[in-house]
Structure 1
Amino acid sequence: MGLGERKTKGIYIDLFSGCGGLSLGLGHSGWTGLFAVEKDHMAFETFKHNLIDGKYNHFRWPDWLPKKETTIQELLTNYQSQLVELNGHVDLIAGGPPCQGFSMAGRRKMDDPRNKLSEEYIKMVQLISPRYLVLENVKGFNSTFKDSTGNRSKIPYSEIVKARLEELGYKIFTGFVNSACFGVPQNRTRFIMVGVRKDQLHSELDPFSILEELREPFLKEKQLPSKPVSVRAAISDLEQSSSEIIYHSGSENNGFKQLNYTSPKRLTPYQKVMRKGLQSKFKPNSLRIARHKPETVEKFKKIQSICAPGKGLTDEQKQLIGTRKQVITVLDPSQPSRTLTTLPDDLLHYSEPRILTVRENARIQSFPDDFEFKGKYTTGGSRRTQECPRYTQVGNAVPPLMGEVLGRLIGLLNERSS
C-alpha cells in the first residue's frame, strides 16, 4: 500500500529533491506529493524506484510532466501554463537548493552559479503561490560571502531570499535545527526557512517553538531515546568483523565484496525503526565494501590509533600520516556521527580500518533498510561535479526523520492558523 492511501495533510511539490529524503519524510508525515524536480538521472532513478514505482509511493504525478530528471528552468520554459494552473491547488513547496556554493567547507563565493538556483525556487513560488514553504540548506546559507572581487557582502544570501519571498506575500521564519535532536544519529545542523502565506496567518505563530514541542512526542512515538542516538546504535549490525563477506561484482579474486547481512536477534531501538515491517531475513542493498589497498588499510589503522574519536585530524597528525586531505574523522561509537558529506573518505569506521558503506551512511541519515539506492557507487575526477552516485545521493539528502518532523510542523501550522 502506498503512503498516499490515507488522509492527507495536503499537496506538496519537492524542488531539488535529490534521491528523496525530504519527500520520504513528508510522505510518512501524511503529505501527498504532486511531483518532484531533480536534474541528475542517477538521483532521480533512486527517487522514482522508491517514491513513484515502489512501496513508498505517495505521488499524484500529473500527466503533462514526464517521470524523469529535469530542472526548474526546463519546467519554467516548457510547462509555464501548467504551472500557472496549479496556483491555489498546492499547499506546500519544499526543497533545498544545492548547497555547495554556500558550504563552509568550500570557497563560498557569492557569484557561484549554483547559488542562483534559489532564484528559480522563488520563481516557482511566485507562479504557484503555495500556502507554505520549507527551504533547507547548510549553515553557510546564512553567512556573508565574498564576491568576485574579493569583497565581503554585507548581508547573507538567506536574507536576500527572505526579502524576495516576503515581497511575494509570505511571513518568513528562520532558524537552525540539528537532526540529532530528532532521532537522526548525526550532528547535522541545517538552516531552515519556513514561509507562511500571510493570508494563512490568523494568530502569532513561531514554527521553531512548535518544532521544539514536537520533539519529545516524536521520539516517544518512534520509541527512540530522548538522548542522541549513537553511531554504534545505528550501524553495529553492519560491522564486517562479525559477518560473512561474499562476492559482489568484478573478478572473483580482485572484485568487490559485500556484507552478507543477517539481522541480529536483538536490534537497538534505532535499528528497529530502520527495519520496521521487515522480516529478519531481509537484506538491504548498497552493502558493497570499498576495495582498500593494503597500504591504505595500514594508514587507516594509524589514523585510528592517533585520532581522538569524533574529532578531525590536527595539522600535526596529518603531517605525521602524510596526508593533505582537509577532513578526516574517526567516528566516535558513543556519539552521533559528524555531518556526512559527499566524500566517503571523510569519515572512518569507529573500529574497522575502512570507510563506511553506502548503507551505513544511509543508516546515519535515517533511510530505512528497504529504501534502495540506484546508480554508480562513486565517481571521480571531472565527473564529480556532473554526476550524483550513491554516496553523493546519501550525503546530499535531507534525513527522512527530519523531513517527517518538518512535515508534521507544517501540518500543525495549518491546524493552528485555521
Structure 2
Amino acid sequence: MQGTQLDLFPHEDERNPIKKQKQPKLGRYERIQRELDRDNSDQYKTFVDISSVPSLLSKYTFVDLFCGAGGITQGLSQAGLTPLASVEISPIASATHKKNFPKCHHFCGDIEQFSAQDWLQQIGSPEVNVVVGGPPCQGFSVAGKRDPKDPRNRLFYEFVRVVSEIRPWYVVMENVPGILTIQKGSVKTAIIEAFKSIGYPHISVAILESAAYGVPHIRPRAIFIANRFGMPNPYPKSQLSIEEYKPIESAISDLPDYTPIPEINHEWTYI
C-alpha cells in the first residue's frame, strides 16, 4: 500500500481547508505534579542542576528492561553509563536495539522467561549499578481504558522480580502519569510497597516533561527512582520553559513518506 505523507505545516486550502491542530494539553498533570512537589514526606527526592554535569569517576553499568528500540539505553549511554543487558519482546524493536548497541547482551523474548542471574553469568556476573525500564502502560494510561485488570499490568511485577534478582544500586522506572491516580492511588501505593518488599525502601516519584529537556515532543512521564542505601534520588531540574519547547516539526519535517506499521504503533496520533 502506498504511504501518505501528512503535511506537518498547516496551510489554508480553499478546496480542502485543514482543521486547526489542537494544542497539547500541557496542564493535564499539573495537579498531580503540585501534590508531589508539596509532599514533604519524601526525604530522598532531590532536584539537581544538569546544565554542567561532571564526568563520571567510575564506569557505571545498567540493565534496560522493556527496552524497545533503545531510547533509555541511548540516554544513559550518552550520560556515560555502560549497557550490560537488555530485554525486549518485539523482534522489530530488538533488531534495532542490537544494531545500535551491538556490545549489549540482548534478550529478545518474554520477560517472564528471562533469568537475570543466568543471563549475566554468561558475561562474567558483573555488578549492575542501575536497572531501568518502562513496563507496558496501556492499562494505566488516560489515553486508554485505565483497566486495573489489564493483563499487561502484571508485567510490572516481572520488572520487580528481575530487580530482586540483580540487586542493583538504583532502580529507575518510567510510566505514564496516570499510573499515579488509577484506583485512587492504590496502584502507586502497590508499586512503592513492591519495591520496599525487595529491599528498596528509599523510593521517590516525580513527573518530568520530556519537552522541558529539549526533546521536541510533549511527553510527561512518572519517574520512580529507588535505591537500597538511603541515598538521595536525583531528578534533573527543567532546562526549558513552556515557551521554549521545541516543535516536533524541528525533528521530523524532513522525513520521507512511509507506510504505517500498526503493530509497532507507527501511526499518526491526533491529540
Superposition deviation, residue 9 in structure 1:
4.2
Partner of 2:108: 69
* Paired letter, 2:221: R
Structure 1 unaligned residues grouped into runs of 5+? 1-5, 62-66, 146-153, 220-224, 239-258, 260-286, 291-376, 380-386, 396-418
Instruction: Note closer, same or farther for the CA distance 1:118–1:182 as it changes in structure 2 (3 Å cut).
Output: same
Superposition deviation, residue 95 in structure 1:
0.3
CA distance in 1, matches of 2:111, 2:57: 29
Instruction: Note closer, same or farther for the CA distance 1:229–1:46 as it changes in structure 2 (3 Å cut).
Output: same
Q: Does 1:161 align with 2:176?
A: no
* Paired letter, 1:228: Y
Partner of 1:364: none
Higher-Rg member (1/2)? 1
Instruction: Note closer, same or farther for the CA distance 1:165–1:188 as it changes in structure 2 (3 Å cut).
Output: same
Q: Does 1:231 align with 2:251?
A: no
Instruction: Note closer, same or farther for the CA distance 1:131–1:230 as it changes in structure 2 (3 Å cut).
Output: same
Deviation string, structure 1 residues 215-254 (Cα, Å, up to 9, x no partner): 44xx7xxxxx982112343345x2xxxxxxxxxxxxxxxx
8 A contact 2:225–2:233 mirrored in 1: no
Farther-moved stretch of structure 1 (13-22 vs 84-93) = 84-93
Instruction: Note closer, same or farther for the CA distance 1:41–1:231 as it changes in structure 2 (3 Å cut).
Output: closer
Instruction: Note closer, same or farther for the CA distance 1:176–1:9 as it changes in structure 2 (3 Å cut).
Output: farther
Partner of 1:133: 171
8 A contact 2:216–2:247 mirrored in 1: yes
Instruction: Note closer, same or farther for the CA distance 1:161–1:94 as it changes in structure 2 (3 Å cut).
Output: same
Q: Does 1:388 align with 2:264?
A: yes
CA distance in 2, matches of 1:110, 1:83: 33
- In terms of fraction of residues, the more helix-rich structure is 1
CA distance in 1, matches of 2:150, 2:173: 19
Q: Does 1:116 align with 2:154?
A: yes
Aligned residues: 211
- Secondary structure of the 1:126 match is helix
Q: Percent identity?
A: 33
- In terms of fraction of residues, the more strand-rich structure is 2
Alignment of 1:211-250 (within 5 A): 211-212=236-237, 215-216=238-239, 227-236=244-253, 238=254
Q: TM-score, normalised by structure 2?
A: 0.69
8 A contact 2:226–2:233 mirrored in 1: no
- Provide the alpha-carbon RMSD of the alignment: 2.9
* Paired letter, 2:113: E
Q: TM-score, normalised by structure 1?
A: 0.46
Alignment of 1:16-95 (within 5 A): 16-52=66-102, 59=104, 61=105, 67-76=106-115, 80-82=117-119, 89-95=127-133
- Secondary structure of the 1:107 match is coil
